[in-house]
Structure 1
Amino acid sequence: MKALRHLLVLAAAGLGTAFLLAGCEITPDLNDPVRFGPFYAPRNFAGEKQMPADVRRVLVLPVALGELGPEETAVTLDAAVAQALQVQQRFEVVPLPRAELRRLFGLPEISSTAAMPHGMLDELAKRYAVDAVLFTDVTVYQPYRPQSLGLRSKLATTRDVRLIWTFDEVISASDPAVANSARRQPFIEAQGRSPVDLSPATLLSPSRYAAFAAGEMFRTLPPR
């Protein structure tokens, strides 16, 4: 009798787990705006019509967070930016660690609007054999709900020192279009596989939201 009761308990637990897992795989309700939008579309960016053929290897500078957060947060954003950039496959991505930037120029980060140390681009181009350098600044950082991340980024060539792409927007989850796009991100990443997390986790996790925002930004890079 005890053995039978034990089996029934295990079966019930298994069914409960199955229901929970199944809940993660349920597609959105027909009226859920994650199905039909509106969705976020960046507007404040500019760039060449096509990625220059000679830009094959790009050095990614540490994110300039400034006084908006601690260095631990900046390091997390560094990883989000590098990963989102690699997904786009426009060029080879070469992340520059903060410690290395500090060793070379005495600074852990350099804003795209700040005066650069003398000869910086030439030094980086020679040392890392790169064709361009990517600067990324955080202009707004609100890691609590509704999350908001302001990103300003510039891609500059090292040989003739010209901008081939710029982006400057505040991506805020208070905008329904942004929230829909952030919630839709797990479906895009899953590519038809399951289970898919249907919870608003992207809107709650600062690291996941940063990854989403960086991905939206780098989608506007000139095509290869």
Structure 2
Amino acid sequence: VVLPCHFADEASPLLRYVDDVFHQELAKQRLFETVRLSPERMKELFGQRRISSSEQLPDTFLIDLERATGANGVLLVDLDSYRAYRPLALGGRAKLVDLKSADFLWAIDETFDLGQAEVIVAANQFQRKAQLGNVSARTTGSTLSSPRAFA
């Protein structure tokens, strides 16, 4: 189960599309079947629309999530930093947790800052490889100038 992304500013326009972008990119990897839990369903089940991977989880969260979804694991995702103006920056943290054992299977905490040369090179390579037919580097849809494309 992929939970909705958590971001400290719950009114941020970023939250309108980041879940879709993240899920699309995760599904492209075809590592495992992904099931999305909407913020509305989260509110219904747990009283919160989004849960941070760094917060203490409600006592029966993992058990309740397994019962509600039949899933084996949960991916908790946080956006912990975001800069929408040049140079763009996006910081994320994610944890994959086994629902039965509560063990962490995988975790990442990374910030991608277009003020760093190596990130610019990697973003350009990604755009050429994965998005060539979708956007041109000369358009405002470029990975280097669009928060949505950069995400």
TM (norm. structure 1) is 0.63
Q: Report the residue type matching 1:95 in the other structure.
A: R
Q: Report the residue type matching 2:20 in the other structure.
A: A
> Contact 1:63–1:135 at 8 Å: present in 2 too?
yes
Q: 1-side partners of 2:135 and 2:16: how far apart? A: 28
Q: 1-side partners of 2:124 and 2:62: how far apart? A: 39
Structure with greater helix percent: 1
Aligned equivalent of 1:203: 144
Q: 2-side partners of 1:81 and 1:195: how far apart? A: 17
Aligned residue for 1:140, secondary structure, equals: strand
Question: Is 2:44 the partner of 1:103?
Answer: yes
Q: 1-side partners of 2:82 and 2:127: how far apart? A: 22
> Contact 1:122–1:158 at 8 Å: present in 2 too?
yes
Structure 1 position 196, deviation (Å): 6.4
> Contact 1:137–1:153 at 8 Å: present in 2 too?
yes
Q: What residue ranges of structure 2 are gaps of 5+ in the alignment?
A: none
Aligned residue for 2:150, secondary structure, equals: helix
Q: Which has the larger radius of gyration?
A: 1
State the aligned residue count: 149
Aligned residue for 1:112, secondary structure, equals: coil
Higher relative contact order (CA 8 A, sep 6+): 1
Question: Is 2:63 the partner of 1:122?
Answer: yes
Aligned equivalent of 2:98: 157
Question: Is 2:25 the partner of 1:84?
Answer: yes
Identity of matched residues, %: 29
Q: Which runs of 4+ in 1 moved over 3 A?
A: 193-196
Aligned equivalent of 2:87: 146
Q: 2-side partners of 1:196 and 1:155: how far apart? A: 32
Q: What residue ranges of structure 1 are gaps of 5+ in the alignment?
A: 1-58, 211-224
Aligned equivalent of 1:46: none
